[in-house]
């Protein structure tokens, strides 16, 4: 991809913001007395392939996307540099997109229902892949159906089903902190949600010890997630800036 004065400015901005985010993660680990690594997934949704390309130069290993079509195009555009990254699907997956998603995603973080798990398992098997998946948990204190994310009570059975799929590898759990209207403190409610996610993770790990990943925390609440025990954070805006509106 060509280098222009404009792209040099972009590179400097992203490099600075990435350093700041890495420092925030380091400080949060220190504050929590943690020495185990926390994986940074840079959320590149709505940003161009040129940004993903420069993230590779800056040492980023993991990127997150939320739309199949956009991600698959970006991954192709990256060409030979695409396999240098682990591509995470963090958005809702329609069952009829299963074949396409397993073509570009290395990790699918948003598996939340049995029919999706079996469709992804079959699609991965058909192309001879084994794809990591996380169970997305609905962390709403009173989960409503159809919001994205499995109800906490559904998680153990879903974990067993995923573990049975030869094309999938159960790698852990994922959650997004809810933003209940009128919450006294967004940070306290995020921490409470992440604590509940950690409890569920412990429950899953008792029967599936390999499912170590806890993906939680975004630009606004990564400190709360790391304090709770998250092994992976997903950060977009704090690194790449304001997201252009979705087309």
| Closest chain position to ligand PLP (CB) | 236
Residue 2 or 247 with smaller CB distance to ligand PLP: 247
Environment class of residue 135 by beta-carbon count within 10 Å: exposed (0-12), middle (13-18) or buried (19+)? buried
Minimum distance, C-beta of residue 221 to ligand PLP, in the bound complex (Å) = 9
Residue 43 or 101 with smaller CB distance to ligand PLP: 43
Measured distance CA(11)–CA(8) in Å, rounded: 5
Backbone phi, then psi, for 172, in 5-degree steps? Answer: 155, -155
Minimum distance, C-beta of residue 240 to ligand PLP, in the bound complex (Å) = 8
Minimum distance, C-beta of residue 127 to ligand PLP, in the bound complex (Å) = 25
* Residue 91 neighbours by CB under 8 Å, 6+ apart: 45, 65, 66, 67, 110
- The two structure tokens encoding residue 14: 């992203």
* Residue 135 neighbours by CB under 8 Å, 6+ apart: 111, 112, 150, 155, 158, 159, 162, 170, 172, 173, 174, 204
Angle between helices 49-57 and 68-78 (to 10 degrees): 50
Q: What Å distances lie between residue 6 and 10, 17, 59, CA to CA?
A: 6, 17, 21
Residues at the interface with ligand PLP (CB under 6 A): 43, 45, 66, 90, 176, 218-220, 234-238
Minimum distance, C-beta of residue 110 to ligand PLP, in the bound complex (Å) = 7
Residue 17 or 183 with smaller CB distance to ligand PLP: 17
- Per the CB < 8 A criterion, the answer to whether 53 and 40 are in contact is no
Minimum distance, C-beta of residue 15 to ligand PLP, in the bound complex (Å) = 18
Residue 42 or 120 with smaller CB distance to ligand PLP: 42
Minimum distance, C-beta of residue 71 to ligand PLP, in the bound complex (Å) = 12
């Amino acid at each position: 991809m060509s280098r222009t004065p404009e792209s040099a400015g972009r590179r400097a901005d992203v490099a600075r913001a990435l350093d700041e985010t890495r420092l925030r993660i380091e400080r949060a680990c220190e504050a929590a007395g943690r020495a185990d690594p926390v994986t940074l997934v840079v959320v590149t949704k709505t940003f161009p392939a040129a940004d993903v390309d420069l993230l590779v130069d800056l040492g980023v290993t993991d990127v997150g996307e939320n739309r199949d079509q956009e991600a698959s195009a970006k991954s192709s555009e990256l060409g030979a540099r695409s396999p240098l990254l682990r591509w995470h699907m963090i958005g809702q997956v329609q069952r009829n997109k299963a074949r396409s998603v397993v073509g570009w995603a290395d990790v699918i973080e948003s598996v939340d229902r049995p029919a999706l798990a079996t469709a992804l398992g079959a699609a991965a098997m058909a192309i001879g892949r084994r794809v990591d998946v996380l169970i997305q948990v609905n962390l709403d204190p009173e989960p409503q159906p159809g919001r994205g994310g499995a109800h906490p009570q559904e998680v153990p059975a879903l974990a067993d089903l995923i573990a049975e799929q030869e094309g999938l590898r159960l790698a852990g759990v994922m959650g997004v902190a809810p933003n209940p209207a009128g919450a006294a403190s967004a940070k306290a409610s995020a921490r409470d949600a992440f604590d509940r996610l950690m409890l569920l993770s412990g429950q899953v790990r008792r029967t599936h010890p390999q499912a170590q990943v806890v993906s939680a925390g975004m630009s606004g609440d990564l400190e709360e997630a790391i304090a709770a025990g998250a092994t992976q954070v997903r950060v977009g805006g704090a690194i790449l800036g304001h997201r252009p509106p979705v087309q």
